[in-house]
Amino acid sequence: MADIIKLLPDHVANQIAAGEVVQRPASVVKELMENAIDAGATCIKLIVKDGGKTLIQVVDDGSGMSETDARLSFERHATSKISSAQDLFNLATKGFRGEALASIAAIAHVDMQTRTAANEVGTHLKIEGSKIVSQEVIATPEGTSISVKNLFFNIPARRNFLKSTQVELRHITDEFHRVALVHPNIEFHFYNNGSEIFNLPIGKHRQRIVHIFGSKMDNRLVPVSEETEVVKVSGFICKPEFAKKSRGEQFFFANNRYIKSPYLHHAVVAAFEGLIKSDTHPGYFLFLEVDPSSIDINIHPTKTEVKFDDENTLYAILRSTIKHSLGQFNVAPVLDFDHDPNLDTPYSYKEKGAVIPKVTVDASFNPFQEKGGSGGSFRKQSTKGWEDLYEGLGHQNDHNEFSSVVIESESEEQGTLYSGEGVEEHLASTFQLRREYVVSTVKSGMLVIHQNRAHERILFEKFLGEITVKEGVSQQLLFPLELSFNKQELAVVKEIHESLTNIGFVFDSLEKETVKVTGVPMMVPESGIGTVLDRLIADYMEGYSDGSISQAEMLAKALSRNLAVRTGDVLDSESQLMLVNNLFACKEPNLSPFQKITYTIISEGDIDKKFN
C-alpha cells in the first residue's frame, strides 16, 4: 500500500489551531488587549461593531513593532516573550505561546498598523486567511492598532454558531471587565457601534471597580488585605447584604491574570457562611500575588483554570482573611434573609432626617418557624410588627402620610391580584394548609394547590399576554422614583425597555446611571419597585445568556417569580378562591413557568381506601 500520511499545509494547520484559541469574538478581544498590555501600553481603546462579528479593533500606545517583527508576529510560535522552557516558570507577561495573532489571522481579515519610537514611519499590514495581501509604509502614531474584521469568514460553521449580537457583546464586556479590573494603572476606552460605553481613567482598584460597576458599588465594598509568605491578598468583598441571587461580580486574579478557581471560590463562600442566604452569592474582587513558579497557568490557551502548588494553605488564608475583614468592618449579619420589599423604608421616608425609632420587637416572632427552611416572605402577617418598628417615626413626622403609604400598597396589591369577577360564583370552600397549599374540593376528590407555583403560573400568563399585546395597566407614581443602575444594568433595561413599557413601567429617560421611574405595573408595590427591577435584571442577565428562550418569556418568568405570593404568606379566603379560579383559567394550569407541578387531586377512591 502506498504511503498516505501528509503534512497539512500551514494555513490548514493554522485554521485548526485557531479553533482552540478563538472561540468567539470575546477571545479575540482578550488576546488583543493582553498583547497591548504586554507591549506596555498606558492607554488602550477597544472598538467593536455588532458584538464583534463585524469589527474588533484594539488601539494601544505601547512599544509598537519594527517592520520585521510586524510580519513575524503572525507566524505560529513567534513570540518575543519567552525564549526557553525555563522562562515558563517565571512569566511576567500575559502571552507567551506566540499563537494568538497567527490564529486570528487564519480566520479573519486583519489590518495592523504599528510603529516603534525608534522609527519615524510605521508598517501597515493586511492579512486575510493567513495570506499577506499588502504591506506598506505608513505614517501612524507610536503603538499598534489591530483591527479584525469578518471573523470566521472562511469557517461558515463557526460563524453560524455565534450567538446573538447581544450575547456576544456581553461576552466581550465580561472579557473587558476582567482585563480592565486588574489594570487600573492603564486607561481604557470601550466603544460599541460608535458610542463610548466605558471610559476608565487611571486610578486605584477601588475607583476602577466603581467606574465599571457604578457609583452605588462604592459603599458596598469592604477592603481585604493580608500578606503572608505564601500569598499576598488584596482587593474587596461586597457587604453581605448585597449578595445577589445571580453570580454577579465575582473576580479572582492571580498575578494580574483573571482566573477561575472553584476551590478558592469555596473559601470565600465559606467565610460568608451564616451571613448570607444559601442561594445568594457574595460579590468579590480579589487579587492574589504568589511566586510565579508556584502557579501553573499553562494548562490550556483559553482556559482560565490554574493550578497552585499549595492550594490548601491558600484556602485557609483566604477564608480567614475575609472573615477578618467582615468582622473588622463590623459587617453585621443580616437578619432579613429573604428581602421583603414591603419591609423597605417607604419611599417618602428615604430623604428625611434620621430619627431613631423606638423599637418594639415581638420577641416571640420567629419568621422561620412556619415551615422549615423555606424562608418565605411574610408579607401579610408581618405587617403589624413592621409598623411597630417605625413607631418613633410616626410621631415625629406626618403620621397620616405614613399610614396611607402602607394601606395603599397593601390594598392595591390585594386589589389587583384578587379582585374581579367570579369570586362569588365559586361555591366550593377553600382553606390554607401550612401557609403553603390551598385546599378545595372538586368533583373527583380533593384539590391541593401549591400557592406559590400556582400564582407564578397565573402571573406568568398574565405578563406574557401583556408583553405581547401591550395592554399592561400602569399606576402613575406621585413622586417619581430615582433608581441608580450601573452600565450593564442600564444596558439590560434598554434592551427590555419595550417589554417593560408594555407591562406598565414608565421611565422618563435611560441615558444616565440614574433613571427616573414615573409609572409601574399595578401589582408592583411602590416600596418594592427597586427590588423588583434589580431582581428582574439579574434574572434576565442570567437567563438570557444561554439565549434559548424569548425575551418576553424570560421577562414574564422573572416577573412572576418575583411577584408571586410565597410559601408562608397568609391568604384570606377571597384570595384563596381567586387563586383556584385564576389557575384553572390558565392555558397550562398544571405546571409552573419553571416546570414544577402546581396542583394535585387526591381522588375519592384514594380517600376511600384509607378507610378500608
Q: Which residues bind Mg ion (CB under 5 A)?
A: 35, 95, 100
Shortest distance, position 101 Cβ to Mg ion, whole Å:
7
Pick from ligand ADP, Mg ion, none: which does 532 bind, CB < 5 to 8 A by kind? Answer: none
Nearest CA to 234 out of 256, 265, 249, 219 is that of 256
x/- map, 134-173, ligand ADP, by CB under 6 A: ----------x-----------------------------
Q: What does the block give as the cell for 228?
A: 503572608
Shortest distance, position 89 Cβ to ligand ADP, whole Å:
16
Of 27 and 325, nearer to ligand ADP (C-beta) is: 27
CB distance 175 to 30 below 8 Å: yes
Contact flag: residue 46 with ligand ADP (CB under 6 A): no
* 3-state class (DSSP) for residue 105: helix
Please identify, among the stretches 57-65, 220-228, 480-488, 524-532, the one whose residues bind ligand ADP according to the rule CB under 6 A.
Answer: 57-65
Please identify, among the stretches 78-86, 289-297, 308-316, 542-550, the one whose residues bind ligand ADP according to the rule CB under 6 A.
Answer: 78-86
Contact flag: residue 60 with ligand ADP (CB under 6 A): yes
Of 68 and 312, nearer to ligand ADP (C-beta) is: 68
Shortest distance, position 162 Cβ to ligand ADP, whole Å:
22
Shortest distance, position 3 Cβ to ligand ADP, whole Å:
34
- DSSP code of residue 260: B
Exactly one of 51, 52, 62, 521 binds ligand ADP (CB under 6 A); that residue is 62
Give the nearest residue (CB) to Mg ion.
95
Contact flag: residue 22 with ligand ADP (CB under 6 A): no
Contact flag: residue 314 with ligand ADP (CB under 6 A): no
Contact flag: residue 71 with ligand ADP (CB under 6 A): no
Of 62 and 235, nearer to ligand ADP (C-beta) is: 62
For residues 397-423, b (16+ Cβ closer than 10 Å) or e, as one string?
beeeebeebbebbeebbbeebbeeeee
Contact flag: residue 80 with ligand ADP (CB under 6 A): yes
Cα–Cα distance between 41 and 186 in angstroms, integer?
7
Exactly one of 66, 88, 96, 135 binds ligand ADP (CB under 6 A); that residue is 96
Of 100 and 237, nearer to ligand ADP (C-beta) is: 100
Which residues face 520 on adjacent strands? 475
Pick from Mg ion, ligand ADP, none: which does 62 bind, CB < 5 to 8 A by kind? Answer: ligand ADP
* 3-state class (DSSP) for residue 385: helix
What percent of the chain is helix, strand and coil (3-state, nearest 5)?
40, 20, 35
Cα–Cα distance between 514 and 38 in angstroms, integer?
37
Of 255 and 321, nearer to ligand ADP (C-beta) is: 255
Tell me, by CB under 6 A, how many residues bind ligand ADP. Answer: 24
Q: Give, to the nearest 10 degrees, the angle between helix 573-584 and helix 399-418.
A: 40
- DSSP code of residue 9: P
What are the start-end ranges of the H helices in 194-276?
205-213, 262-271
Cα–Cα distance between 164 and 160 in angstroms, integer?
10
Cα–Cα distance between 35 and 172 in angstroms, integer?
16
Contact flag: residue 73 with ligand ADP (CB under 6 A): yes
Contact flag: residue 31 with ligand ADP (CB under 6 A): yes
Cα–Cα distance between 247 and 574 in angstroms, integer?
39
Contact flag: residue 65 with ligand ADP (CB under 6 A): yes
Cα–Cα distance between 372 and 143 in angstroms, integer?
62
Of 95 and 184, nearer to ligand ADP (C-beta) is: 95
CA distances to 10, 49, 432, 533, 581 from 457, rounded to whole Å, are 57, 39, 19, 20, 12
End-to-end CA distance of the chain: 82
Of 71 and 220, nearer to Mg ion (C-beta) is: 71
Pick from Mg ion, ligand ADP, none: which does 589 bind, CB < 5 to 8 A by kind? Answer: none
Cα–Cα distance between 438 and 599 in angstroms, integer?
9
Of 17 and 406, nearer to ligand ADP (C-beta) is: 17
Contact flag: residue 27 with ligand ADP (CB under 6 A): no
Cα–Cα distance between 455 and 159 in angstroms, integer?
42
Give the nearest residue (CB) to ligand ADP.
95
Contact flag: residue 101 with ligand ADP (CB under 6 A): yes
Q: CB under 8 Å to 76, separation ≥6 — which residues? A: 10, 13, 14, 17, 98, 99, 102
Of 146 and 523, nearer to ligand ADP (C-beta) is: 146
Please identify, among the stretches 30-38, 281-289, 502-510, 519-527, the one whose residues bind ligand ADP according to the rule CB under 6 A.
Answer: 30-38
Exactly one of 11, 49, 71, 81 binds ligand ADP (CB under 6 A); that residue is 81
Contact flag: residue 598 with ligand ADP (CB under 6 A): no
Q: CB under 8 Å to 157, separation ≥6 — which residues? A: none
| List of residues contacting ligand ADP (CB under 6 A) | 31, 35-36, 38-39, 60, 62-65, 73, 78-81, 95-102, 144
